[in-house]
Amino acid sequence: MLGSLFTVGLNYAFNPKKEKVFRIEHSNQAPALISRYDAHDTPGPDFTGAAERVMPTVVHIRSTQLRPSGRGATPNLPEAFRDFFGDEFFFGPGPQRSPGQPQPAIGTGSGVIISDDGYIVTNNHVIDKADDIEVTLHDNRTFKADLVGVDPSTDLALLKIEGDDLSAVTLGNSDDVRVGQWVLAIGNPFNLNSTVTAGIVSAKARNINILRDQSAIESFIQTDAAVNPGNSGGALVDLNGNLIGINTAIASPTGSYSGYSFAVPVSIVRKVMEDLLQYGTVQRGYLGVIIRSLDATLAREHDLDITEGVYVDSLVSNSAAEAAGIEKGDVILSVDGTPVRQSSELIAAVGTRRPGDKVELQVQRDGKEKTFEVTLRNREGNTELVAEAELSVLNELGVDLAALDRDELKVLGLDHGVKITQLRPGKLSRETDVREGFIITHIDGEKIKSPEDVQKVLADKKGGVMMEGRYENYPRTFYYAFGM
Protein backbone atom coordinates (compact mmCIF):
# COMPACT_ATOMS: atom_id res chain seq x y z
CA MET A 1 0.00 0.00 0.00
CA LEU A 2 1.45 3.34 -1.02
CA GLY A 3 0.23 5.44 1.87
CA SER A 4 -1.46 4.90 5.19
CA LEU A 5 -4.06 7.19 6.73
CA PHE A 6 -4.35 6.60 10.44
CA THR A 7 -8.07 6.74 10.95
CA VAL A 8 -8.89 7.12 14.60
CA GLY A 9 -12.25 7.65 15.53
CA LEU A 10 -16.88 10.65 14.36
CA ASN A 11 -18.92 13.54 14.98
CA TYR A 12 -20.28 16.00 12.51
CA ALA A 13 -21.84 19.06 14.00
CA PHE A 14 -21.66 22.77 13.51
CA ASN A 15 -21.01 25.10 16.37
CA PRO A 16 -24.15 27.27 16.51
CA LYS A 17 -22.25 29.98 18.37
CA LYS A 18 -19.24 30.10 16.09
CA GLU A 19 -17.82 33.48 15.35
CA LYS A 20 -17.53 34.67 11.77
CA VAL A 21 -14.02 36.05 11.90
CA PHE A 22 -10.68 34.31 12.34
CA ARG A 23 -7.78 36.04 13.97
CA ILE A 24 -5.03 34.39 12.00
CA GLU A 25 -1.48 35.63 11.73
CA HIS A 26 0.00 35.43 8.24
CA SER A 27 3.64 35.67 7.32
CA ASN A 28 5.24 37.23 4.27
CA GLN A 29 8.70 36.01 5.21
CA ALA A 30 10.71 34.19 2.60
CA PRO A 31 11.89 30.69 3.49
CA ALA A 32 14.86 30.78 5.84
CA LEU A 33 18.16 30.49 4.02
CA ILE A 34 20.97 28.43 5.47
CA SER A 35 24.50 29.75 5.06
CA ARG A 36 27.39 27.55 4.03
CA TYR A 37 29.63 26.41 6.88
CA ASP A 38 33.36 26.00 6.95
CA ALA A 39 35.41 23.74 9.18
CA HIS A 40 35.31 26.21 12.10
CA ASP A 41 31.50 26.51 12.19
CA THR A 42 28.96 24.22 13.79
CA PRO A 43 27.76 21.97 10.94
CA GLY A 44 24.15 21.98 9.81
CA PRO A 45 21.24 24.37 10.19
CA ASP A 46 19.76 25.47 13.51
CA PHE A 47 16.21 24.16 14.06
CA THR A 48 15.83 25.35 17.65
CA GLY A 49 14.17 28.70 16.99
CA ALA A 50 11.44 27.27 14.75
CA ALA A 51 10.83 24.35 17.13
CA GLU A 52 10.47 26.63 20.16
CA ARG A 53 8.01 28.89 18.32
CA VAL A 54 5.81 26.12 16.97
CA MET A 55 5.68 23.49 19.74
CA PRO A 56 3.22 25.52 21.91
CA THR A 57 0.82 25.69 18.93
CA VAL A 58 0.67 21.92 18.31
CA VAL A 59 -1.87 19.95 20.36
CA HIS A 60 -2.51 16.31 21.18
CA ILE A 61 -5.99 15.09 20.17
CA ARG A 62 -7.75 12.15 21.80
CA SER A 63 -10.96 11.06 20.09
CA THR A 64 -13.39 8.57 21.61
CA GLN A 65 -16.06 6.72 19.73
CA LEU A 66 -18.88 4.81 21.42
CA ARG A 67 -20.51 2.23 19.16
CA PRO A 68 -23.30 0.10 20.62
CA SER A 69 -23.26 -3.55 19.63
CA GLY A 70 -25.72 -4.99 17.16
CA ARG A 71 -26.13 -1.87 15.05
CA GLY A 72 -26.99 -2.01 11.38
CA ALA A 73 -29.75 -2.39 8.83
CA THR A 74 -32.64 -4.77 9.33
CA PRO A 75 -33.79 -6.31 6.02
CA ASN A 76 -37.55 -6.71 5.48
CA LEU A 77 -38.45 -4.96 8.71
CA PRO A 78 -42.06 -5.62 9.77
CA GLU A 79 -44.49 -2.74 9.36
CA ALA A 80 -45.35 -3.05 13.06
CA PHE A 81 -41.91 -1.68 13.89
CA ARG A 82 -43.20 1.79 13.03
CA ASP A 83 -45.47 1.60 16.09
CA PHE A 84 -42.42 1.91 18.29
CA PHE A 85 -41.54 5.34 16.95
CA GLY A 86 -42.36 8.37 19.00
CA ASP A 87 -40.91 11.71 19.96
CA GLU A 88 -39.63 10.30 23.25
CA PHE A 89 -37.93 7.21 21.79
CA PHE A 90 -34.47 7.45 20.29
CA PHE A 91 -33.54 4.51 18.11
CA GLY A 92 -30.23 3.25 16.88
CA PRO A 93 -30.40 0.48 14.31
CA GLY A 94 -33.67 -1.36 15.08
CA PRO A 95 -35.35 -3.95 17.30
CA GLN A 96 -33.02 -6.84 16.45
CA ARG A 97 -29.90 -5.26 17.93
CA SER A 98 -28.33 -7.23 20.73
CA PRO A 99 -28.00 -5.69 24.18
CA GLY A 100 -24.68 -4.57 25.53
CA GLN A 101 -22.76 -1.60 26.79
CA PRO A 102 -21.09 0.70 24.26
CA GLN A 103 -17.45 -0.17 23.78
CA PRO A 104 -15.18 2.87 23.49
CA ALA A 105 -12.72 3.06 20.62
CA ILE A 106 -9.96 5.57 21.35
CA GLY A 107 -7.62 7.11 18.83
CA THR A 108 -5.03 9.83 19.01
CA GLY A 109 -3.52 12.39 16.67
CA SER A 110 -2.34 15.95 16.44
CA GLY A 111 -3.72 19.38 15.64
CA VAL A 112 -2.49 22.95 15.18
CA ILE A 113 -3.91 26.08 16.84
CA ILE A 114 -4.41 28.55 13.97
CA SER A 115 -5.99 31.44 15.90
CA ASP A 116 -5.58 32.68 19.46
CA ASP A 117 -9.34 32.37 20.08
CA GLY A 118 -9.14 28.59 19.94
CA TYR A 119 -9.63 27.33 16.38
CA ILE A 120 -7.65 24.18 15.65
CA VAL A 121 -7.02 22.46 12.33
CA THR A 122 -6.46 18.72 12.13
CA ASN A 123 -7.12 15.83 9.76
CA ASN A 124 -10.64 14.59 9.23
CA HIS A 125 -9.49 11.01 9.77
CA VAL A 126 -8.18 11.95 13.24
CA ILE A 127 -11.67 12.82 14.53
CA ASP A 128 -13.80 10.73 12.15
CA LYS A 129 -16.76 9.11 13.96
CA ALA A 130 -15.71 10.56 17.32
CA ASP A 131 -18.39 11.10 19.98
CA ASP A 132 -15.96 12.94 22.22
CA ILE A 133 -12.89 15.01 21.30
CA GLU A 134 -10.33 16.02 23.91
CA VAL A 135 -7.45 18.39 23.22
CA THR A 136 -4.30 18.60 25.35
CA LEU A 137 -2.03 21.61 24.92
CA HIS A 138 1.75 21.72 25.06
CA ASP A 139 1.48 23.04 28.66
CA ASN A 140 -0.70 20.00 29.60
CA ARG A 141 -3.98 21.92 29.86
CA THR A 142 -6.91 19.83 28.59
CA PHE A 143 -10.11 20.99 26.85
CA LYS A 144 -13.19 19.45 25.30
CA ALA A 145 -13.37 20.43 21.63
CA ASP A 146 -16.39 21.22 19.46
CA LEU A 147 -16.31 20.07 15.85
CA VAL A 148 -17.00 23.07 13.61
CA GLY A 149 -16.86 21.21 10.31
CA VAL A 150 -15.01 18.76 8.11
CA ASP A 151 -13.91 18.44 4.49
CA PRO A 152 -13.27 14.81 3.51
CA SER A 153 -12.11 15.88 0.04
CA THR A 154 -8.97 17.38 1.60
CA ASP A 155 -8.99 15.28 4.81
CA LEU A 156 -9.23 18.42 6.96
CA ALA A 157 -11.33 19.29 10.01
CA LEU A 158 -11.83 22.41 12.12
CA LEU A 159 -12.20 22.24 15.91
CA LYS A 160 -12.90 24.92 18.53
CA ILE A 161 -11.85 25.09 22.17
CA GLU A 162 -12.50 27.77 24.78
CA GLY A 163 -9.31 28.80 26.54
CA ASP A 164 -7.07 31.71 27.48
CA ASP A 165 -3.45 32.46 26.59
CA LEU A 166 -3.48 30.23 23.53
CA SER A 167 -0.48 30.26 21.20
CA ALA A 168 -1.35 30.31 17.50
CA VAL A 169 0.88 29.32 14.61
CA THR A 170 1.79 31.79 11.87
CA LEU A 171 0.55 30.76 8.43
CA GLY A 172 3.19 30.74 5.72
CA ASN A 173 2.88 30.53 1.95
CA SER A 174 3.07 27.00 0.60
CA ASP A 175 3.20 28.30 -2.99
CA ASP A 176 6.68 29.66 -2.23
CA VAL A 177 7.95 26.37 -0.81
CA ARG A 178 10.88 25.02 -2.80
CA VAL A 179 12.01 21.45 -3.31
CA GLY A 180 15.14 20.90 -1.24
CA GLN A 181 14.39 23.38 1.54
CA TRP A 182 14.53 22.32 5.18
CA VAL A 183 11.26 21.70 7.04
CA LEU A 184 10.21 20.47 10.49
CA ALA A 185 7.36 18.08 11.33
CA ILE A 186 5.87 18.57 14.80
CA GLY A 187 3.28 16.28 16.34
CA ASN A 188 2.57 13.40 18.69
CA PRO A 189 3.67 10.12 17.08
CA PHE A 190 2.94 6.99 19.11
CA ASN A 191 1.68 9.32 21.91
CA LEU A 192 5.17 10.84 22.22
CA ASN A 193 4.03 14.41 22.77
CA SER A 194 5.70 17.40 21.11
CA THR A 195 8.05 15.40 18.91
CA VAL A 196 10.07 17.37 16.35
CA THR A 197 11.66 15.79 13.25
CA ALA A 198 13.49 17.44 10.36
CA GLY A 199 13.83 16.79 6.66
CA ILE A 200 13.66 18.46 3.30
CA VAL A 201 10.85 19.02 0.82
CA SER A 202 11.19 16.09 -1.57
CA ALA A 203 8.46 17.05 -4.06
CA LYS A 204 5.41 19.25 -4.48
CA ALA A 205 1.92 18.64 -5.88
CA ARG A 206 2.18 14.92 -5.17
CA ASN A 207 -0.94 12.80 -5.79
CA ILE A 208 -0.88 9.41 -4.03
CA ASN A 209 -4.57 8.45 -4.55
CA ILE A 210 -5.20 7.95 -0.86
CA LEU A 211 -8.40 10.00 -0.35
CA ARG A 212 -11.61 8.16 -1.20
CA ASP A 213 -13.76 11.26 -1.66
CA GLN A 214 -15.07 11.70 -5.22
CA SER A 215 -13.97 15.36 -5.18
CA ALA A 216 -10.62 14.67 -3.53
CA ILE A 217 -7.89 17.28 -3.83
CA GLU A 218 -4.45 15.69 -3.54
CA SER A 219 -1.58 18.06 -4.10
CA PHE A 220 0.62 17.08 -1.16
CA ILE A 221 3.96 18.50 -0.09
CA GLN A 222 6.23 15.43 0.08
CA THR A 223 9.02 15.42 2.66
CA ASP A 224 11.49 12.99 4.19
CA ALA A 225 10.85 14.27 7.71
CA ALA A 226 9.94 11.28 9.90
CA VAL A 227 6.16 11.09 10.38
CA ASN A 228 4.35 8.22 12.10
CA PRO A 229 0.84 7.35 13.37
CA GLY A 230 -0.13 10.15 15.74
CA ASN A 231 1.55 12.83 13.62
CA SER A 232 -1.62 13.12 11.53
CA GLY A 233 -2.99 16.64 11.82
CA GLY A 234 0.31 18.05 13.05
CA ALA A 235 2.39 20.90 11.70
CA LEU A 236 4.87 21.04 8.84
CA VAL A 237 6.78 24.32 9.16
CA ASP A 238 9.69 26.12 7.54
CA LEU A 239 12.74 27.29 9.47
CA ASN A 240 11.03 30.59 10.28
CA GLY A 241 8.37 28.59 12.15
CA ASN A 242 5.66 29.36 9.56
CA LEU A 243 3.05 26.69 8.90
CA ILE A 244 3.33 25.37 5.35
CA GLY A 245 1.31 22.15 5.66
CA ILE A 246 -0.70 19.73 7.77
CA ASN A 247 0.93 16.28 7.99
CA THR A 248 -1.55 13.73 6.70
CA ALA A 249 -0.11 10.49 5.32
CA ILE A 250 2.98 8.38 4.80
CA ALA A 251 4.16 6.08 2.02
CA SER A 252 4.83 2.83 3.82
CA PRO A 253 4.44 -0.94 3.38
CA THR A 254 4.19 -1.34 7.17
CA GLY A 255 2.11 1.60 8.44
CA SER A 256 5.16 3.23 10.01
CA TYR A 257 7.61 5.72 8.56
CA SER A 258 9.62 4.33 5.65
CA GLY A 259 11.11 7.44 4.15
CA TYR A 260 8.39 9.77 2.83
CA SER A 261 5.49 11.69 4.31
CA PHE A 262 2.84 13.95 2.84
CA ALA A 263 1.25 17.19 4.02
CA VAL A 264 -1.74 19.21 2.83
CA PRO A 265 -0.38 22.61 1.67
CA VAL A 266 -1.41 25.58 3.81
CA SER A 267 -2.90 27.30 0.73
CA ILE A 268 -5.58 24.60 0.74
CA VAL A 269 -5.84 24.55 4.53
CA ARG A 270 -6.49 28.30 4.70
CA LYS A 271 -9.31 28.21 2.14
CA VAL A 272 -11.01 25.17 3.69
CA MET A 273 -10.89 26.63 7.20
CA GLU A 274 -12.29 29.98 6.06
CA ASP A 275 -15.16 28.26 4.23
CA LEU A 276 -16.02 26.01 7.18
CA LEU A 277 -16.13 28.98 9.50
CA GLN A 278 -18.08 31.32 7.23
CA TYR A 279 -20.41 28.96 5.37
CA GLY A 280 -20.46 25.76 7.42
CA THR A 281 -19.34 23.84 4.35
CA VAL A 282 -16.60 24.10 1.75
CA GLN A 283 -17.53 26.14 -1.31
CA ARG A 284 -15.70 24.52 -4.18
CA GLY A 285 -15.45 25.79 -7.72
CA TYR A 286 -15.33 23.31 -10.60
CA LEU A 287 -14.09 23.57 -14.18
CA GLY A 288 -16.06 20.55 -15.28
CA VAL A 289 -13.31 18.74 -17.21
CA ILE A 290 -11.98 15.18 -17.25
CA ILE A 291 -8.19 15.52 -17.29
CA ARG A 292 -4.89 13.65 -17.45
CA SER A 293 -1.33 14.75 -16.78
CA LEU A 294 0.50 15.12 -20.06
CA ASP A 295 3.58 12.95 -20.61
CA ALA A 296 5.67 11.79 -23.55
CA THR A 297 3.42 8.81 -24.29
CA LEU A 298 0.23 10.88 -24.30
CA ALA A 299 1.96 13.59 -26.37
CA ARG A 300 2.94 11.04 -29.06
CA GLU A 301 -0.55 9.55 -29.02
CA HIS A 302 -2.12 12.95 -29.81
CA ASP A 303 0.76 14.36 -31.90
CA LEU A 304 1.54 17.14 -29.43
CA ASP A 305 4.83 19.06 -29.37
CA ILE A 306 4.87 19.52 -25.55
CA THR A 307 5.16 17.01 -22.72
CA GLU A 308 4.06 19.09 -19.71
CA GLY A 309 0.59 20.36 -18.92
CA VAL A 310 -2.91 19.01 -18.30
CA TYR A 311 -4.68 17.28 -21.17
CA VAL A 312 -8.47 17.72 -21.46
CA ASP A 313 -9.92 14.27 -22.16
CA SER A 314 -13.56 15.43 -22.15
CA LEU A 315 -15.91 18.04 -20.76
CA VAL A 316 -18.89 17.78 -18.43
CA SER A 317 -22.14 19.00 -19.92
CA ASN A 318 -23.20 22.48 -18.74
CA SER A 319 -19.78 23.02 -17.18
CA ALA A 320 -17.77 26.18 -16.64
CA ALA A 321 -15.09 25.02 -19.07
CA GLU A 322 -17.61 24.23 -21.78
CA ALA A 323 -19.26 27.64 -21.40
CA ALA A 324 -15.88 29.38 -21.65
CA GLY A 325 -14.91 27.60 -24.87
CA ILE A 326 -12.46 24.97 -23.62
CA GLU A 327 -12.46 21.96 -25.93
CA LYS A 328 -11.53 18.29 -25.77
CA GLY A 329 -7.87 17.94 -26.70
CA ASP A 330 -6.80 21.27 -25.23
CA VAL A 331 -3.72 21.26 -23.01
CA ILE A 332 -4.03 23.58 -19.99
CA LEU A 333 -0.69 25.26 -19.31
CA SER A 334 -1.40 27.73 -16.50
CA VAL A 335 -4.01 29.10 -14.12
CA ASP A 336 -3.87 32.86 -13.53
CA GLY A 337 -0.30 32.85 -14.82
CA THR A 338 0.90 30.01 -12.57
CA PRO A 339 2.13 27.00 -14.57
CA VAL A 340 0.33 23.68 -14.06
CA ARG A 341 2.53 20.79 -15.16
CA GLN A 342 0.31 17.98 -13.91
CA SER A 343 -3.33 17.38 -13.06
CA SER A 344 -2.82 17.60 -9.27
CA GLU A 345 -1.57 21.18 -9.65
CA LEU A 346 -4.62 22.17 -11.70
CA ILE A 347 -7.02 20.50 -9.24
CA ALA A 348 -5.39 22.29 -6.32
CA ALA A 349 -5.38 25.67 -8.08
CA VAL A 350 -9.07 25.45 -8.93
CA GLY A 351 -9.97 23.81 -5.61
CA THR A 352 -8.93 26.92 -3.69
CA ARG A 353 -11.54 28.97 -5.57
CA ARG A 354 -15.28 29.28 -5.03
CA PRO A 355 -18.23 29.12 -7.45
CA GLY A 356 -18.49 32.46 -9.26
CA ASP A 357 -14.73 33.12 -9.11
CA LYS A 358 -13.05 33.85 -12.43
CA VAL A 359 -9.80 32.19 -13.47
CA GLU A 360 -7.66 32.76 -16.54
CA LEU A 361 -6.55 29.58 -18.28
CA GLN A 362 -3.77 29.49 -20.82
CA VAL A 363 -4.15 26.49 -23.12
CA GLN A 364 -2.45 25.08 -26.17
CA ARG A 365 -4.73 24.13 -29.05
CA ASP A 366 -3.48 22.93 -32.42
CA GLY A 367 0.00 24.15 -31.59
CA LYS A 368 -1.10 27.66 -30.66
CA GLU A 369 -1.57 29.19 -27.24
CA LYS A 370 -4.93 30.71 -26.32
CA THR A 371 -6.26 32.38 -23.18
CA PHE A 372 -9.74 31.82 -21.74
CA GLU A 373 -11.52 33.46 -18.81
CA VAL A 374 -13.57 30.84 -16.97
CA THR A 375 -16.25 31.55 -14.37
CA LEU A 376 -16.21 28.56 -12.05
CA ARG A 377 -19.43 26.73 -11.20
CA ASN A 378 -20.55 24.43 -8.42
CA ARG A 379 -21.30 20.73 -8.86
CA GLU A 380 -24.87 21.55 -9.87
CA GLY A 381 -23.63 23.65 -12.79
CA ASN A 382 -24.39 27.15 -11.49
CA THR A 383 -22.42 29.86 -9.72
CA GLU A 384 -24.44 29.99 -6.51
CA LEU A 385 -22.76 29.53 -3.17
CA VAL A 386 -24.37 26.83 -1.08
CA ALA A 387 -26.16 28.38 1.89
CA GLU A 388 -25.57 26.75 5.26
CA ALA A 389 -29.33 26.59 5.89
CA GLU A 390 -29.82 24.49 2.76
CA LEU A 391 -27.25 22.01 4.01
CA SER A 392 -28.37 21.73 7.62
CA VAL A 393 -30.34 18.48 7.25
CA LEU A 394 -27.81 16.78 4.98
CA ASN A 395 -24.98 17.88 7.25
CA GLU A 396 -26.80 16.48 10.27
CA LEU A 397 -27.24 13.18 8.43
CA GLY A 398 -23.69 13.35 7.08
CA VAL A 399 -24.45 12.53 3.45
CA ASP A 400 -24.15 13.80 -0.08
CA LEU A 401 -27.06 12.76 -2.28
CA ALA A 402 -27.62 12.53 -6.02
CA ALA A 403 -30.87 12.10 -7.95
CA LEU A 404 -31.07 9.10 -10.29
CA ASP A 405 -31.92 9.57 -13.95
CA ARG A 406 -34.51 7.51 -15.82
CA ASP A 407 -32.02 5.01 -17.19
CA GLU A 408 -30.53 4.32 -13.76
CA LEU A 409 -33.98 3.88 -12.24
CA LYS A 410 -35.04 1.56 -15.05
CA VAL A 411 -32.04 -0.72 -14.51
CA LEU A 412 -32.88 -0.89 -10.79
CA GLY A 413 -36.57 -1.49 -11.40
CA LEU A 414 -37.52 1.68 -9.51
CA ASP A 415 -39.51 4.77 -10.41
CA HIS A 416 -37.97 7.02 -7.76
CA GLY A 417 -35.04 7.27 -5.36
CA VAL A 418 -31.83 9.14 -4.52
CA LYS A 419 -28.38 7.66 -4.03
CA ILE A 420 -26.00 8.28 -1.13
CA THR A 421 -22.85 9.24 -3.03
CA GLN A 422 -20.79 10.05 0.05
CA LEU A 423 -20.96 9.38 3.78
CA ARG A 424 -19.51 12.02 6.09
CA PRO A 425 -19.54 12.29 9.88
CA GLY A 426 -23.18 12.50 10.95
CA LYS A 427 -26.21 10.63 12.28
CA LEU A 428 -26.25 7.93 9.63
CA SER A 429 -22.64 6.91 10.12
CA ARG A 430 -22.96 7.09 13.92
CA GLU A 431 -26.29 5.34 14.35
CA THR A 432 -26.55 2.97 11.38
CA ASP A 433 -24.39 0.84 9.14
CA VAL A 434 -25.71 2.32 5.90
CA ARG A 435 -23.12 2.28 3.13
CA GLU A 436 -22.33 4.57 0.24
CA GLY A 437 -24.38 3.62 -2.79
CA PHE A 438 -27.59 3.04 -0.79
CA ILE A 439 -30.64 4.24 -2.73
CA ILE A 440 -33.21 5.93 -0.51
CA THR A 441 -36.74 5.29 -1.77
CA HIS A 442 -38.86 6.27 1.25
CA ILE A 443 -38.47 8.15 4.54
CA ASP A 444 -41.28 7.60 7.04
CA GLY A 445 -43.41 6.30 4.16
CA GLU A 446 -42.90 9.38 2.00
CA LYS A 447 -41.57 8.84 -1.52
CA ILE A 448 -38.11 10.33 -2.07
CA LYS A 449 -37.52 11.54 -5.63
CA SER A 450 -34.81 14.16 -5.09
CA PRO A 451 -32.34 15.38 -2.44
CA GLU A 452 -34.75 18.26 -1.81
CA ASP A 453 -37.40 15.71 -0.75
CA VAL A 454 -35.06 14.45 1.98
CA GLN A 455 -34.64 17.98 3.30
CA LYS A 456 -38.39 18.64 3.23
CA VAL A 457 -39.33 15.43 5.04
CA LEU A 458 -36.70 15.85 7.77
CA ALA A 459 -36.56 19.64 8.14
CA ASP A 460 -38.71 19.80 11.29
CA LYS A 461 -38.63 16.14 12.24
CA LYS A 462 -38.25 15.19 15.90
CA GLY A 463 -37.81 11.67 17.21
CA GLY A 464 -37.47 8.39 15.30
CA VAL A 465 -37.04 8.19 11.54
CA MET A 466 -37.39 5.18 9.27
CA MET A 467 -35.42 5.19 6.01
CA GLU A 468 -35.89 2.44 3.48
CA GLY A 469 -34.36 1.60 0.13
CA ARG A 470 -32.10 -0.73 -1.78
CA TYR A 471 -28.53 -1.39 -2.79
CA GLU A 472 -27.78 -1.76 -6.48
CA ASN A 473 -26.72 -5.41 -6.29
CA TYR A 474 -29.24 -6.54 -3.65
CA PRO A 475 -32.89 -6.87 -4.70
CA ARG A 476 -34.40 -6.86 -1.21
CA THR A 477 -35.44 -3.81 0.79
CA PHE A 478 -33.28 -2.56 3.66
CA TYR A 479 -34.48 -0.42 6.56
CA TYR A 480 -32.41 1.97 8.68
CA ALA A 481 -33.70 3.63 11.82
CA PHE A 482 -32.21 6.69 13.48
CA GLY A 483 -33.29 9.65 15.59
CA MET A 484 -33.56 13.35 14.81
Identify whether residues 120 and 203 lie together within a single domain.
Answer: yes
Identify whether residues 403 and 355 lie together within a single domain.
Answer: no
Identify whether residues 229 and 138 lie together within a single domain.
Answer: yes
| 84 belongs to a structural domain | no
pLDDT at 236 over 80: yes
CATH number of the domain to which 463 belongs:
2.30.42.10
- Which of 375, 403, 431 is at the close of a domain? 375
Identify whether residues 200 and 311 lie together within a single domain.
Answer: no
Residues 258 and 285: beta-carbon distance below 8 Å: no
Phi, psi (5° rounding) for residue 136? Answer: -115, 125
- DSSP letter (8 states) at residue 190: G
**DSSP bridge pairs for 311:** 292, 331
Identify whether residues 205 and 172 lie together within a single domain.
Answer: yes
Identify the burial level of 47 via C-beta atoms within 10 angstroms of its C-beta, where 0-12 means exposed, 13-18 middle and 19 or more buried.
middle
Identify whether residues 297 and 328 lie together within a single domain.
Answer: yes
pLDDT at 156 over 80: yes
| 203 belongs to a structural domain | yes
| 89 belongs to a structural domain | no
Residues 296 and 277: beta-carbon distance below 8 Å: no
Residues 72 and 93: beta-carbon distance below 8 Å: yes
d(CA 325, CA 292): 19
Identify the burial level of 179 via C-beta atoms within 10 angstroms of its C-beta, where 0-12 means exposed, 13-18 middle and 19 or more buried.
exposed
Tell me the range of 9-18, 37-46, 371-380, 400-409 where mean pLDDT is highest: 371-380
Domain range for 145: 14-68+107-280
Measured N-to-C along each axis, helices 388-397 and 451-458 cross at an angle, to the nearest 10 degrees, of: 80
> What is the tally of structural domains in the chain?
3
- DSSP letter (8 states) at residue 20: S
Provide the 3-class DSSP secondary structure of residue 43: coil
Identify whether residues 111 and 260 lie together within a single domain.
Answer: yes
Q: How many C-beta neighbours within 10 Å does residue 327 have?
A: 14
* Catalytic center residues: 125, 155, 232
Q: What is the pLDDT of residues 223-233, one digit of tens each?
A: 999 999 999 99
pLDDT at 387 over 70: no
| 86 belongs to a structural domain | no
H or E element, residue 467: strand 464-471
Residues 76 and 98: beta-carbon distance below 8 Å: no
| 420 belongs to a structural domain | yes
d(CA 377, CA 354): 8
Identify whether residues 35 and 180 lie together within a single domain.
Answer: yes
- Which of 280, 311, 327 is at the close of a domain? 280
- Which of 225, 259, 280 is at the close of a domain? 280
pLDDT at 25 over 80: no
Identify whether residues 232 and 338 lie together within a single domain.
Answer: no
d(CA 32, CA 29): 8
Provide the 3-class DSSP secondary structure of residue 392: helix
| 2 belongs to a structural domain | no
| 9 belongs to a structural domain | no
**Interacting residues of 316 by C-beta distance below 8 A, sequence separation 6+:** 288, 289, 290, 322
Identify whether residues 313 and 254 lie together within a single domain.
Answer: no
Identify whether residues 365 and 335 lie together within a single domain.
Answer: yes
| 42 belongs to a structural domain | yes
Identify whether residues 117 and 179 lie together within a single domain.
Answer: yes
**Interacting residues of 247 by C-beta distance below 8 A, sequence separation 6+:** 110, 185, 187, 227, 231, 232, 233, 234, 235, 236, 261, 262, 263
Q: What is the pLDDT of residues 243-290, one digit of tens each?
A: 999 999 998 888 888 889 999 999 999 999 999 998 888 899 999 999
The residue among 39 and 452 whose pLDDT is bigger is: 452
Q: What is the pLDDT of residues 179-222, one digit of tens each?
A: 999 999 999 999 899 999 999 999 999 998 888 666 788 999 99
Q: Indicate the pTM of the whole model.
A: 0.73
